[in-house]
Amino acid sequence: MKIQVVFYSMYGHIHRMAKAVVEGASTVDGAEASLWRVLELVPEDQLVASGAKAAQSAFSQVPVIAPQQLAEADAIIFGTPTRFGNMAAQMRNFLDQTGQLWLEGSLVGKVGSVFTSTATQHGGQESTILSFHTTLLHQGMIIVGLPYSEQRQMTMSEISGGSPYGASTIAGPDGSRMPSDNELAMARFQGQHVAQIAAALARGRSLSS
């Protein structure tokens, strides 16, 4: 059973969350979780000037995924930072290349899930994930979020991301805040939860075939 974690990260916040998602998915028997990134679109000089180039060196060896590779997975967990309440352009560009998969119905019945990051506590975490779900529904995917059985999302003792829609982190206006232990734990839970559901669906299909 293949679980793909596909992300875009500019300064490393989503990359850290993505690694935690892979860790969680890998705890499920039979799950083969892999980490992938989508192509950067920002010009090189702007990446250098903003400091993003240096930050991205930490995950520059993560392989870039091609749209057609999504068809190989049983479940796909997407990670994107928020851009004004929506997914980043890099992720949108990638998804806009999946028209052939849609035409062929290649993603129908696969599990899909989303996690995100924002600069502020109310910076569009929920709207980003919910608007991302629209694409997954058009592809016929089965959407999985972060159920309240993961009670870390209800913490009141610290500032933390996380909602029933998916794991999330708060980077801060200057990007200096990295994912907290609580946020990373939710990301691991989401990875495990998605893998468990994908495994259950796979068992059901094998019994009915």
Q: What is the CATH number of the domain that holds 57?
A: 3.40.50.360
For residue 190 the two structure tokens come to: 């989401």
pLDDT of residue 208: 55
d(CA 187, CA 136): 19
Q: What is the dihedral of CA 131, 25, 169, 38, to 10 degrees?
A: -60
Q: Is 209 a residue whose pLDDT tops 60?
A: no
Q: How many CB atoms lie within 10 A of CB 165?
A: 22
The pLDDT value recorded for residue 203 is 84
Residues whose CB falls within 8 Å of the CB of residue 106, separated by 6 or more in sequence, listed in order: 70, 71, 100
Question: Which parts of 96-180 fold into alpha helices (H)?
Answer: 99-104, 125-138
Range of the domain at 84: 2-208
| Residues above pLDDT 70, as percent of the chain | 98
- pLDDT at residue 166 greater than cutoff 80: yes
Average pLDDT, the chain: 96
β-bridge partners, 92? none
194 in Cβ contact with 167 (< 8 Å): no
Number of structural domains in the chain: 1
Distance CA(142)–CA(133), nearest Å, equals 10
Helices marked H in 28-98 = 44-50, 52-56, 89-95
Specify the pTM: 0.96
The whole-number average pLDDT for the span 90-118 is 98
CA 61-63-65 angle, to 5 degrees, is 155
CB atoms within 10 A of CB 34: 18
Distance CA 38, CA 160 (A): 26
Amino acid at 71: A
